[in-house]
Amino acid sequence: MLRRCVGLVRRLDRAVGIPMPFELEEFLDRWSRYRAGRPVSLFPMTDAELPANTCGLWLALPDRDIVGFPMAAPRNHRDHIVLHEVGHMLATHADGLAGPVDGFSGLVPDLDPAMVRSVLGRSAYDDVQEQEAELIASLIMHRSLTVAPRLPVAGRIGVVIERLERTLDR
C-alpha cells in the first residue's frame, strides 16, 4: 500500500504540482485543470450535518465533485480532510460504502439519494480504501513541507516561522 500511495503522490506532484507553501485552493485549481476542468467545490458543514462518525465526505456528481468538511476544523485539519477525499479521487475509489443518507440528503434535496448512498459511510479506518486515502493526504502534506528548495540561512528562519505558523494554524 505504501509503495502504491507514494507512486500516486509522486505522479500527482509531477503532473499537477503540489504548491509550496501549500495552499488548498491553489492545489484544487491545479487538480481541477489536470482533470479536464472538473471542479472540486468545498462544502463546509456543521458537525450535526455530517453523517455520524465521519470527518468529511466526497460526492462525485456528473460534472464536479463536492467535498464536505467540518466548518469548525482548523485550517490544517480542514486541508487534511479535503486531501483525504482527493486521495479517494486519486486512487479511483469509486465505490462508497452504503450508509445513512439522513442529514446530508436534506441539505441537497435535488440529489438522487442513490448517488448520495454511494459516497457516504467512509469512516471505518480498517478499510483499505480509507487507509490509502489517509496515507495519500499525509504524503501530500508531507511533500509540501519537505521538498522546498534550499534557502540562504536568513531565508530558512522565515521558512521555519511559516511552518510553525501553519502547524499552529495562525
Taking a C-beta distance cutoff of 8 angstroms, is the pair 57, 67 a contact?
A: yes
Straight-line distance from the first to the last Cα atom of the chain, in angstroms, rounded to the nearest whole number = 34
The Cα 146–Cα 6 span in angstroms is 14
Set of cell numbers at residue 60: 462525485
Q: What per-residue confidence (pLDDT) applies to 91?
A: 93
Query: Over its length of 170 residues, how does the chain's per-residue pLDDT go in tens digits?
Result: 999 999 999 999 999 999 988 999 999 999 999 999 999 999 999 988 887 788 888 888 888 899 999 999 999 999 999 999 999 999 988 754 444 445 555 556 666 666 554 454 455 566 888 899 999 999 999 988 765 554 444 567 767 766 766 665 54
Q: What per-residue confidence (pLDDT) applies to 157?
A: 73
Burial class (CB in 10 A: 0-12, 13-18, 19+), 12: buried
Task: Give the domain ranges of the chain.
Answer: 2-168
Q: What per-residue confidence (pLDDT) applies to 162?
A: 67
Give the pairing type, strands 65-70 and 40-45: parallel
The Cα 56–Cα 137 span in angstroms is 13
pTM of the prediction?
0.75
Give the pairing type, strands 57-60 and 40-45: unpaired
